[in-house]
Structures are given as structure tokens and as C-alpha cells.
Structure 1
């Protein structure tokens, strides 16, 4: 229990201290108008208060991610606490802050456009495709579960439930951000927080003791911690999906200093939620073997339902149903919205402003249809491909932040160090994982290490080149 409580405190201290360092490194100016005031369009560029933006951001980036991922990550034991704390403070929250603030700095630009500006056009072309694909996969994967539960609890069939959910997706993606998302998301964000806090309080008063720190791998199937844990627990530590969501809120922020509370703060809140559910997974079933059996029987949704009902009674059952239905849907709708925004950025140059409504509608339908079709197949198959794609996007965003800082003669290591770490994660994972090349573990580590070394060499060359350029400019001045 001491480890769990210490981890929560460390996340709070991380926000109080490190977020200010990150903000200072980035550099803010509250005198400069934000995109919400410079380009108000009544659709995406709409000023909103920081507290409302924070709750919407939390729900956008969270959904069931910090619940399901943390429960699966709990199979590794208390080492999951270490990854959540370190990953959240030094990688995930930094990633979210820079993805949001760089978007704000560049007029609400989407993630691929930021990649293009700081990593080059070829990288932007590839990341455009990967990002939109990730959004479609997320929308599809986060829809099947709620639709199945709706079919079990109501007379509606699975297909009818899917159709209703995607009808809502279309509305949420097409209507102004303050009409549906701005009104109901703060409420759902409050439900997410209340659910997590209630579980945490209940855990503190159970007979079972939350396990304390150990670096031992307790996974029942003896799966390696590196790099699987870093992909299993993404939301709550670091998730590339967040970089696609942050521009939605970047277009609504009233002043630059709100960015620390909205982007860094929402990620810390998600980290705390992940800690709570990881602790619940480790504790409730006695040990990781018990958790594995529960997962085999009912999956993550069944585990969440059993924990909630047992610890919180009827209220827990209601919260569990709300969580398993509403939270993934609120992730899916913003995934469709952000993919719509990315697609518009790709095609809008050939159209006039008079065609804007047609473009918006066509782009929304273009990304909704494939997500709808994919949602009807096995979502566990989809989820296998979401994990690595998600962390690849996160890695590229960290390198984007590192290049921004380097080009502006700032402390680029703030993004550079976590970027190197995540590069090693994705390079090793893709060769070892079954959805990748399924190579042996030692060989995957060697190949991943070599690729990471090559990226480090590229990074060092960039630093040397930029330092020479800066020295030359200073000498000329």
C-alpha cells in the first residue's frame, strides 16, 4: 500500500514541479492571442474555460485506456507502478504538453502538420496515413465492446447498437465542439474521476493489501516486462493517441498558460486513474494468477465489472455499466473528429471556403465508414495493432518536440531522452510481438538496439549541426 500511495504522491509532485520546468522550457506568452480568438469559426475554434478544457481533454485521452490497459498491465505486478509514474511524468505528460502547445503555437495545427514542420515532409506523409489509420482503428476497437453490452442489456441487436453509436459519432464530429462535446464531456469526465476515486477509497479498506514495490516480473505467463509493459500500459503512461486529440482542445484554449493545466494536468490525472486500476487488478483477485484467471473468464470488461460491483455494490454496477459503454464511445467520437480534421488538412487546398461544409461532411463520412466496417469484426484482433501503432505515433511526437526545442536553442533533452527510450520500445516490440515479426526475444532486443543506436546517431548529428549553425549565426552577428 505504501508503494501505491507514494506513486500517487509522486505524480502530484511531478505536476507541481516538473510541469513548471517543461512550461519554462517551452516558453509561453499570455499576451499573444490564441487560435480560439484569432480564428473563431464556431465549429472547432471556440474559446472555452481551462477547467472545461481539462475535463474534455481527460475524457478525450482516457476513455477505457487507463482502466483496461492498467488492469492488463497489473499482471506484471507492482513494477507497473514504476512505469506509470516515470512514464507519465517524464514522457506521457511531456508528450501531451508539447503536442497541445505546438498545435496552439501553429494556429491549431494537426499532429501530422507539426511532424512535417519539424521532421520534414517525407515523415509527414507517412505519419498522415498512420495517424488516420490509428484513429479509425481506435474508433472501431472502442465501439464493439459497448455495442455488445448494449445488446445484452437491451432488446437492441449488436448491429443496431453499432449503427446508433456511429450515428452519434457523425453528430459529434460535425457539430461545433461546444454543442455536444463541450456540454456533456465535463460531466462524463467527472464520472470517470468519481469512479476511480471510489475504487481507490474502497481498496484502502479491503482486507487485501495492495502489494508494495518489487522489480520482479510476476506475470503468470512469464511475458517479458521490456518492452511489452510499455505497450500494454500506454494510456496512463504515454500514448500517441493523445497527440491526435490535443489539437481539438488547443483550438479552444483562452491563454497559453492554461496549457499546463489542460495538457500536462490531464495526463497526470490519467496516470492516477491508471495507478488505481492497476492496484485494483493486483489486489482484488489475490495475486496475478487470480487476475489472469479472471481475465480469461470475462476479459477486462468482466474484471472491471466484478471489481466495481463487489467494492461499491449497486453504485459500482451502475458506474461499471456507464464506464464500459460511455467511456469508449467518448474516445471513438473524438477519434472520428480528429481524423476528420486531419483529412481536411490533406484535401482542403483544392477547395474554396464555399465548399467547406461539403468537405467537412465528406471527410467525416470517409473516416466513419471504414471504422464502422472494422467494428463488426473481432475487436481483440484490432486492439493488437492499436498498441504498437499508438506508441509509434507517440515516439514521433516526442522527436517532433525535441527538434522544435533544438531549433529554438532550448533544452531539447526534455523531449529527446523520452524519445530515445520510446524509440527502443517500438523498435524492439515490432520484432518480438506476434502482430509484428514474432522473432526470438534476444534477437528482437539486438535488432531493436541497433535501430535505436542509429536514431541516436542521427540525433547527435542534428545537435552538432544545429550547434554549428547557431555558433556561425552568433559569429556573424
Structure 2
């Protein structure tokens, strides 16, 4: 199949999804009312609650939910099962599950004073569901902080060219935030200046790579401590000062890279040479449920519900902006996932001819991992536009988001810790104390590398968060007498799929050739959690059938 044709189909599909299905969900389930005061206005504290311009908030939200996830997930799925099933799930999952999940997580939080999805679970399902959900999410967020801190430190060591743009973006973002929000400088002018500064920093970084003159362990320790310190400080600063502007500026790198990738593919239009289908199973497991777990952010991700109901809902200036930010950002992520798929399935060879082995997918994957595979494949797609710099830009585009997830996740963990523990331990309502509560265990897990013990379970746990968030959303819709079919069927599918993955992984880790009892027991615990929360919601789900029969 010609890659240019798939790009055209993807753009048309996601545009139609936004105009048709997104509008349908907006009108039937949300009914935005700009006369209502959003939490950003009603609870404006200048720190976490702060009204944002729509495009800046889109930039924050997209930067927080995108990054490596929608790139690495589809690449792994294509390698395991072929591109046919992967692209089908990206198309359908993004439009009918992921974007709906993201948009409604955001808007339900807006209608609940900016509370997180786990906290809202208490109102619409029950206290036990809320406690279990919140504890599970807290552990997941601590793990994410540890992993991103570890990966970011290793990235700075292995790619010294990104150090100057990574840290140089901090003062650029702070100046941008000050000029836009305090001096009312036009957004267009501020954006042009900020982007020019960022591209200069990227150029300077490649001209002056910075490597620490120490042994590997010492260099890692220095970068890791600096990154975790940054994440801790940034997570308590006012959102307008760093979080919003930094994510907005970073977002432009991804948007520009995405646009170049799409245009480059239309010009070069290589044939997809990866197999469309490799079989019903692979070494990663059966196509169901494992493909749906592997694609992750490329179709639906529970982490997105935490961002939408965590930071984004506290910055939404008016309800009508919600569709663009929540539904729209996820569709753009679907386009990014499609480009990632094409970068390796059309930009690289799956059976490299003689003399082209350096562009063979499996050769690159074994040598440099999926990040390098994406970079090389992306570089070949955009070669008509960027020449030899295509690969460097592709990897830079991916690594620009090294720090966006770090402080956003600490901030999200702070919110949930304050909601869960704050009522009984008043000190936890202090943003500094709550941030340390997240950062300290994350620091230990990342610095020692012990996060790797349970990290293989993150894919299933992330999709479990999505399934539970959809249950909470469905329960809310029942309460306000709105149609539930838009979220109930996705919730059931995700619960069954996630439980299927946990059963498979649990059996594999407990009774396989190389048993891993920690992962096996973790699978069982997550499976029990899913069953308990679903059981808590069973009465709500029963009512939802009556709701759908009575509500158009």
C-alpha cells in the first residue's frame, strides 16, 4: 500500500471524527455553557487554578499526553502483529474510545470543581471505589515519575546535544509566560520569538554538546538529581509561570515535526513494506488482548484522564474550549501514531536489500531501540524537506518532551495525594509536602533502578486506569440522565481487554518458562482491583441500560 494514501485516509478520518463524532458527543453529553464559571475562574489561585488561552492550554495538554507513548507503542505493535490491525485500532480506538475518554474526563472534572477522576469516583460510585482507584493511581504516578526521571537522565548522557535546549527552554518559557500573562504581549509575537529562541537553542545544542567529565554512574546521579529537583520545583510554581508556556512551546516542535512528516510522506510516498498481518500471536502474546495494550497512547490511555482532570481542567477558561483541547488533542495524537507507524513500516525496510542493511527495521531496533528506529525512518520520510538532518530532527522532536511529563506527573500526584490523604492529614494539603510525598519514593525507585521490577506491568495498568475512568464517566452520565452508550460499551471493552491481558500476563509470569513471581502477583492484584471496582459500579451499569432506553 502507498504510504501517501494512508496519510490522506488518516487525515480525512480524524477530521471527520472531530466534526461528526466529537460534535455529537459535545452536544449530547456535555452541552457546554460559557455562562458557567469554570474552576479556573471560580477558584483562581494563581498557582494551579488559572484561566488559559485555548491554544496555550491545547499545547500544555497535548505535550503532556503525547511524547514517546504514541510513537513507541505503535512501533512495538507493528513489529509484533503487522501494520493492518495496528492502524485499524489506532483509527477506531482514537475516535471512539480515546478522544471520548479524554474529552469527558476533562469536562466532568470541570463540572466537579476541578477534582480528579479518582476523587469524582466517590461521588458517582462510592467511597471504596474512590479509595482503591486513588491508591492505584498514586502508585502508578510515582512509578511514572521514577521512570521518566531515569530515562531523562540517561537521555542527557547519551545525547548531550539535547542538554542546552532542554534546560535553555526553562528561562525562555518563563519569559514567554510573563510577557503573555503579565504584559499582555500578543500571543502571535510571543510565539514567534519563543520558537526562534528554541530553534536557536537546538542549533546551539548540536554545535556545543555538553558531556560531564565523570564516570557513568556519577554523571547519571548528577543529571537525575537535577531533573528530579527541577520537577519538584516546577510542580509547585504557578502554572502560568512555567508549566503552560513550556508545554505550549514544546508543543510547536511536535506540531512542526508532525507537519513535516506528513508533507514529506506525501512527497516521497514510499510503499509500506512491512507485513499487514503476521498472525494471531507473537512472542508478545495473542493479538487480543496484547495489541490493544501495546498501542496504548496511540488509541487510548488512562494517563490522559489524569492529565485532563488534573492540570487541564484547572486551566480551562470556558467550557466551549473543551472539545478542541480534550477531543482534538487526542485526534492529533492519533495522526502522530499513524506517522510513527509509517516511519518504520514505509520509511524502513523489513527485508533490507543488499547494501541497504543500515535501513533495515530489525537491524536498527536491535542496535538502537525503537527511538532510533523512529528517528531513522522519520528521517527517510522527510528527506525531501530536511535532507540529512531529518533523523536528528525526528529524535529531537521525541526528546523535547523529556521534561514535560516529569513535573506534570508530580503535580498530578500532588493533587490526588491532597484529595485522598489531605482530609485526614492536613499537612498533605500543603503543595510542598504533597509534592515531596510523590517525589521522594519516585527518587528512590529511579535512582536505584528498582522501578524496573514492576515497570513491565505499566502497559496493562495504564489501560486499567482508562477502563476505570470510563466506568466513572458512565456513572456520572447516569446521574445526570445523559446517554451512556458512548462510554459504557468502551468501558466494557476496556475492562474485558485489560482483564484478559492481566490473566495472560499473570499466567505467563507465574507458570512460564522463566517465572517472575513479582510480576505475576502484581498481575493478580491488578486483576482483583479491576473486578472489585467493576463490582462497585455494577448497580450503576444496570441503571445505565434503563437510561439509554429512556434518553435519546
TM range (shorter): 0.7 to 0.9
**Counterpart-to-counterpart distance in 2, 1:466 and 1:57:** 30
Deviation at 1:331, TM superposition (A): 1.2
Conserved 8 A contact 1:144-1:379: no
Counterpart-to-counterpart distance in 2, 1:461 and 1:350 = 29
Alignment of 1:69-218 (within 5 A): 69-75=73-79, 76-78=81-83, 79-152=85-158, 153=160, 154-156=210-212, 157-206=219-268, 208-210=270-272, 214=276, 217=279
Q: Distance in 2 between matches of 1:335 and 1:143?
A: 11
User: Any conservation in 2 of the 1:101–1:250 contact (CA below 8 Å)?
Assistant: yes
What is the root-mean-square deviation in Å for CA atoms of aligned residues? Answer: 3.2
Unpaired runs of 5+ in structure 2?
A: 161-209, 213-218, 353-359, 513-525
- Higher deviation after alignment, 428-437 or 457-466: 457-466
Normalised to the residue count of structure 1, the TM-score between the two structures is: 0.88
How far apart are 1:72 and its partner, in Å? 1.4
Q: How many residues matched?
A: 462
Structure 2 residue aligned with 1:409: 481
After TM superposition, what 4+ stretches of structure 1 lie above 6 angstroms from structure 2? 451-460, 466-472
Q: How far did residue 350 of structure 1 move?
A: 4.7
Quick one: distance in 1 between partners of 2:15 and 2:549? Answer: 40
Q: TM-score, with normalisation over the residues of structure 2?
A: 0.76
- How much has 1:271 moved relative to structure 2? 0.8
1:341 aligns with 2:415: yes
Question: 5+ residue gaps in structure 1?
Answer: 441-447, 473-477
One of 286, 300, 304 as aligned partner of 1:242: 304
Distance in 1 (CA, whole Å) between partners of 2:548 and 2:106 is 27
Q: 1:361 aligns to what? A: 432
Per-residue deviation, 1:142: 2.1
CA contact (8 A) 1:401 1:415 kept: yes
* 1:109-152: CA deviation from partner (whole Å, max 9, x where unpaired): 01211122222111111111111111112122223222112113
The CA distance in 2 between the partners of 1:288 and 1:40, in whole Å, is 57
Evaluate the alpha carbon distance shift between residue 379 and residue 403 of structure 1 in structure 2; reply closer, same or farther with a 3 A threshold.
same
Q: Residue 302 of structure 1 corresponds to which residue in structure 2?
A: 372
- Return the offset for 1:438: 5.5
Q: Does structure 1 retain, via aligned residues, the 8 Å contact 2:273–2:349?
A: no
Alignment partner, residue 429 of structure 1:
501
> C-alpha separation between the residues in 2 aligned to 1:4 and 1:309?
17
Alpha-carbon contact 1:30-1:255 (below 8 Å) kept: yes
Residue 444 of structure 1: aligned partner: none
- CA contact under 8 A between 2:70 and 2:297: conserved in structure 1? yes
Residues 340 and 452 (structure 1), Cα distance of their counterparts in 2 relative to 1, 3 Å cut: closer
Tell me if the contact between 1:141 and 1:382 (Cα under 8 Å) persists in the aligned partners: no
Query: Corresponding residue for 2:56?
Result: 52
What's the offset of the Cα at 1:400? 0.9
Contact 1:7 1:81 in 2 (8 A): no
Of 9, 12, 31, which residue of structure 2 is paired with 1:6? 9
| Counterpart among 245, 249, 259 of residue 322 in structure 2 | 259
CA deviations over 1:397-421 (Å, ceiling 9, x no partner): 1111111112222110110011011
C-alpha distance in 2 between matches for 1:306 and 1:149? 17
Whole-angstrom CA distance in 1 between matches of 2:544 and 2:282:
48
1:129 match: secondary structure = helix
CA distance in 2, matches of 1:144, 1:365: 18
Separation of aligned partners in 2, 1:190 and 1:276? 17
Distance 1:374 1:288 in 2: 40
Find the aligned partners of 1:43 and 1:243 in 2 and give their Cα distance.
21
Q: Is the 8 A contact 1:62 1:331 kept in 2?
A: no
Q: How many angstroms apart in 1 are the aligned matches of 2:239 and 2:365?
A: 37
Shift of residue 283, structure 1, vs aligned partner: 1.6
* Corresponding position of 1:475: none
